Chains A and B, each alone.
Chain A
Amino acid sequence: MTLGGLRAVFLAERAMLLRLLVARLGSVEEAEDALQDLWLKLETVTGGPIAEPVGYICRMANNIAVDRRRRAVRRVDRDTGWMETQSGADEQPDAERALIARERLARVEATLARLPDRVATAFRLFRFEDLPQKAIAERMGITVSGVEKLLHRAYLRIHVQRPDSGADVARAGRLPHEEDQRDGR
């Protein structure tokens, strides 16, 4: 699909995309901003046929919404004080997030270990290997709706029934500053 093609789809579906973004972001103003991001983002779409262009653009819009919401939540976290004591907070989040992410992954693994093998396998294939549900179904020898059921259970346990919903955010040390160095000269 060409850039022109995607833009035509965007323009045809603009009202619906705006509705989706307003529903996701909670404000018309922010939704308009996100829509602008989306328009610019279309330029970065590289080749390859897109079977379902409307679904594709909606997915892009939703991904933009997820990013914006994550940034907004992080801002709130900062404003409510847990990072206030640290200088250079603007540079901190990456190191901080990397550590949180690793911890999160460890917790996910621990949760998976307690789930039935098939549930854990479906989740790993879907989330860690990015296989579509259809491919997982073939791999596991079950139906696509069977895969969806397994994933549904995994998601509920991992993301919804978390006993510790991010309250115990760990502190990361600043990563060593990475610079070029030349030894022995």
Chain B
Amino acid sequence: MVDEWTGQTNVDAAADEAVAWHLRLPSAGAEEWRAFTDWLEADPAHGDAYDALARADAELDDALTPPDWSDTVPLAAANDDRAAPRRRWALAAFGGLAAAGIGVVMLPLETDRAMRIVETPGGVRRAVVLADGSRIELNGGTKLAIDDGAARLVTLERGEATFHVTHDAAHPFVVQSGTMRLEDVGTVFNVARVGPHLGVQVAEGAVMFQPERERIMLTAGAALSHLDGEAPRLSGVAVGDVGGWRNGRLVFQRTPVRLVAAALERSTGVVVQVAPGLLETPFTGSIGVTGGADRLIPRAAALIGARAEQVDGRWRLVGGHAGP
């Protein structure tokens, strides 16, 4: 086959047919699978070509869903059967476009370019690569609206994401969350939204908080915490801890327990409530997100100095030995 961009003719027929099969199989029915098996059996070169292609394509899954996440991925997303659940979920996100109009009214749709809504259920992480090469890693329980047109605008509606932004001074990358805006200055940073709370941590480069108003420049190692209606609070963070959830490690510095619980929810997909007396208690430390929620939540509770109770499949953190 002649490649129309380079004129190369180096693709052999088996590889070319393997690609055609690979693209057809996700929607194939019984007859097509039979025909595929016939094709595999017809010539060992067919099997080799398809095998190489399928393995190469599966390698990409490792990049999109790193293997160390598998512990926290619920059964429905287990990779052996990825075609069905992941596609269903993508469909749901696509079908959500119409409904999402309510959530993203602040974003002008001046072109025919559709806003992409990317959403993760609790406990399921994924990465999205934008047209400009910028990469966003989404924690579980996260919803993003992406407009990768000229504006490069991403709205974090809820949850947490780490942004690896390809800097382009002519087209600033803007992250909006609630009424707050962040503008990148070439950077890697993590943003988390839990109800009225917005947390920003910078690992590389710099990001501008509220470029039209406060204009607070956050550089590597800076952390900002903002509660709707209040002034932002600045603190520091170890650069290596930014977006630690991506490596299964949650790091907190004087973080109220309600935000720790939200982080545990995002990682496990399990609801974690907090007793009122414990909500604002600050926690400093790190929690390794390993094993199932049944082991993780009690372990996390012990670190916080609380106890974990399980009622009707929900976890609740209550005061430890000394009471709330």
Contacts and interface: CB of A to CB of B under 8 A. Distances in A.
B54 interface: yes
B219 interface: no
A118 to B, nearest CB: 12
A124 B141 CA distance: 22
Contacts of B62: 97-98, 100-101, 104
Contacts of B75: 44, 46
B224 interface: no
Contacts of A182: 285, 303
A55 B60 contact: no
Interface residues of A, number: 72
Contacts of A168: none
With a 10 A CB-CB cut-off, give which of B11, B20, B33, B90 has the most chain A CB atoms: B33
Nearest to A58: B33
A13 B288 contact: no
Interface string B44-81: 00010011111111111011101110000001101111
Contacts of A175: 68, 247
Contacts of B41: 19, 23
Nearest to B47: A23
A72 to B, nearest CB: 10
Nearest to A119: B5
Interface stretch (B21-29, B186-194, B315-323): B21-29
Given A62-B25, A69-B55, A135-B91, A105 B63 contact: yes
A87 interface: no
Interface of B: 1, 3, 5, 8, 10-11, 15-16, 18-20, 22-30, 32-34, 36-37, 40-41, 47, 50-60, 62-64, 66-68, 75-76, 78-91, 93-94, 114, 116, 118, 127-129, 131, 133, 247-249, 284-288, 290, 299, 303
9 contacts: A13-B30, A23-B40, A56-B84, A58-B33, A67-B58, A69-B51, A104-B60, A128-B128, A155-B53
Sorted from nearest, which 9 A-B pairs have the closest CB atoms?
A101-B62, A23-B40, A105-B63, A54-B30, A101-B63, A130-B90, A58-B33, A182-B285, A159-B56
Interface of A: 13, 16, 19-20, 23-24, 26, 41, 44-46, 48, 50, 52, 54-56, 58-60, 62-67, 69-70, 73, 94, 97-98, 100-102, 104-105, 108-109, 113, 115-116, 121, 124, 127-133, 135, 139, 148, 151-153, 155-157, 159-162, 175, 178-184
